[in-house]
């Protein structure tokens, strides 16, 4: 039987997950277990800059599904380390996609709202013109394009402003600073949509289910999708809600500042809200409003 058309779940079927210890990868690791036998690869087991080892590992595992949640996500550090960003965010996904094509596997990969320049004033659609402002965005765009060009059956999911209770992210930084300070100064002229990583992982699992119809891969559903929460806010608006919802509201003031007052090595889009209409139309999936996502994340944080 053609493994592409065999469908999931099946405990005999191998699933290869990269970036297993990241924000998104941690949750995916749990959810993918319901769909097959997961081989979860973290940075310590394989450095994705080693493309020869990467290719060998994929062929040795012979997966029916490859999920890549690994990425060089240090947006500012990437400005002075373009070679690493390009290897991890573009070359490694290219190798994964080529191997997926050779093995007749489905490839699920992630990208970012930072492929956009941020000059729009309405949510970006999948086909909106891309024009990344920095090295990270450019390397992620090159990754998307390599996957698309590979000929592999693929899903590329662009997401945005990811946070979770796990790892280095804006939510954890705000909560750490709120415990130390009475005043936080946060940029209020960048607009986007904060998205709880666990919701993206859950949507990914649901999309994988929707990729099969009676055991047959629905190739017409392959392609690029925006997967993010609904609504929009600024980093300042996000910070204020974090502080209010976590009980620091009485003591900690959150002051708006401009991007010019908080210079960073990488330029970021002023507006990068993603339209998720395609996700809803094709898969019937709609993530909640960003504030509901935040409430859910915080509720889970305090019960873990
Ligand atoms: N975070 C965001 O705000 C955001 C926004 C939009 C899109 N995305 C995209 O969403 C996806 C998931 O992001 P995330 O926030 O879950 O990322 P994350 O928490 O930074 O996790 C990325 C993982 O990749 C691993 N990694 C980095 N370099 C590697 C290398 N050379 N070899 C092997 N593993 C390596 C990291 O390991 P180490 O930590 O050990 O290096 C980390 O476990 C990525 O494609 C990202 O570009 C993220």
Question: What atom of ligand 1 comes closest to residue 167's alpha carbon?
Answer: 19
Determine if ligand 1 sits within 6 Å of the CB of residue 48.
yes
Pocket test residue of 16, 70, 154 for ligand 1, highest count of atoms within 8 A of CB: 70
| pLDDT score, position 303 | 76
CA distances from 253 to 154, 183, 187, 194, 203 (A): 45, 5, 14, 20, 35
Question: Ligand 1: does its nearest atom lie under 6 Å from the Cβ of 195?
Answer: no
Structure tokens given for 25: 């990868």
Q: Whose CA is nearest to atom 5 of ligand 1?
A: 160
Between the CA of 216 and the centroid of ligand 1 the distance, in Å, is 31
Determine whether 136 is an active site residue. yes
Give the pLDDT confidence of 6-60 residue by residue, as tens digits. 455 566 689 999 999 999 999 999 999 999 999 999 999 999 999 999 999 999 9
* Shortest-distance atom of ligand 1 to CA 87: 31
d(CA 227, CA 198): 12
Q: Take atom 33 of ligand 1 and give the residue whose Cα is closest.
A: 43
Average pLDDT estimate for 67-89:
98
Choose which residue among 58, 78, 162, 268 to substitute to test ligand 1 binding: the one with the highest number of ligand atoms within 8 A of its C-beta: 162
Q: Which of these, 4, 64, 300, 293, lies nearest to 159 by C-alpha position?
A: 293
- Is residue 139 in contact with ligand 1, taking CB distance under 6 Å? no
| Nearest one of 51, 47, 27, 22 to 38, comparing CA atoms | 27
The whole-angstrom distance between residue 173's C-alpha and the CA centroid of its chain comes to 19
The Cα 39–Cα 29 span in angstroms is 9
Report residue 19 as tokens. Answer: 């970036």
CA dihedral 264, 268, 273, 277 (to 10 degrees): -130
What tens digit of pLDDT does each residue of 234-282 get? 999 999 999 999 999 899 999 999 999 999 999 999 999 999 999 999 9
Instruction: Tell me what the mean pLDDT of segment 121-145 comes to.
Output: 98
* Ligand 1 geometric centre to CA of 253 (Å): 31
| pLDDT above 90 coverage of the chain, percent | 92
* Rg of the chain taking only CA atoms, in angstroms: 19
**168 CA distance to ligand 1 centroid (A)?**
10
Specify the ligand 1 atom closest to the Cα of 200.
Answer: 10
The pLDDT of residue 2 is above 50: no
User: Does the Cβ of 23 fall within 6 Å of ligand 1?
Assistant: yes
List 114, 124, 136, 212, catalytic entry: 136
pLDDT in tens, 44-58: 999 999 999 999 999
Strand partners, 186: 256
- Ligand 1 proximity of 160 Cβ (cutoff 6 Å): yes
Does the beta carbon of 24 sit less than 6 angstroms from any atom of ligand 1?
Answer: yes
Give, in degrees to the nearest 5, the angle at Cα 260 between 271 and 230. 20
The predicted model scores a pTM of 0.95
Decide: 71 in ligand 1 pocket, CB within 6 A: yes
């Amino acid at each position: 039987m053609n493994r592409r058309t065999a469908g999931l779940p099946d405990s005999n079927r191998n699933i290869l997950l990269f970036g297993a210890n990241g924000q998104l990868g941690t949750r995916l690791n749990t959810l993918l277990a319901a769909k097959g036998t997961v081989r979860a690869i973290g940075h310590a087991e394989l450095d994705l800059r080693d493309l020869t080892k990467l290719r060998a590992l994929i062929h040795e595992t012979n997966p029916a599904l490859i999920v890549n949640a690994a990425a060089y996500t240090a947006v500012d550090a990437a400005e002075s380390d373009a070679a690493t960003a390009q290897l991890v965010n573009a070359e490694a996904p290219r190798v994964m996609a080529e191997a997926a094509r050779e093995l007749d596997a489905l490839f699920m990969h992630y990208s970012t709202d930072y492929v956009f320049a941020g000059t729009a004033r309405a949510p970006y659609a999948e086909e909106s013109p891309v024009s990344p402002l920095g090295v990270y965005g450019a390397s992620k765009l090159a990754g998307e394009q390599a996957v698309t060009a590979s000929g592999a059956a693929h899903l590329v999911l662009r997401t945005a402003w990811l946070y979770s209770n796990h790892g280095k992210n804006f939510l954890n930084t705000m909560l750490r600073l709120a415990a130390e300070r009475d005043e936080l100064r946060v940029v209020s002229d960048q607009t986007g949509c904060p998205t709880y990583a666990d919701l993206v992982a859950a949507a990914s699992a649901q999309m994988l289910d929707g990729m099969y119809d009676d055991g047959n891969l629905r190739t017409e559903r392959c392609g690029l999708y925006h997967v993010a929460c609904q609504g929009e806010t600024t980093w300042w608006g996000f910070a204020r809600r974090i502080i209010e919802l976590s009980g620091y509201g009485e003591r900690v003031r959150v002051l708006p500042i401009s991007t010019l007052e908080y210079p960073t090595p990488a330029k970021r889009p002023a507006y990068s809200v993603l339209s998720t209409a395609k996700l809803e139309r094709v898969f019937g999936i709609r993530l909640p409003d960003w504030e509901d996502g935040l409430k859910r994340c915080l509720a889970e944080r305090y019960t873990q």
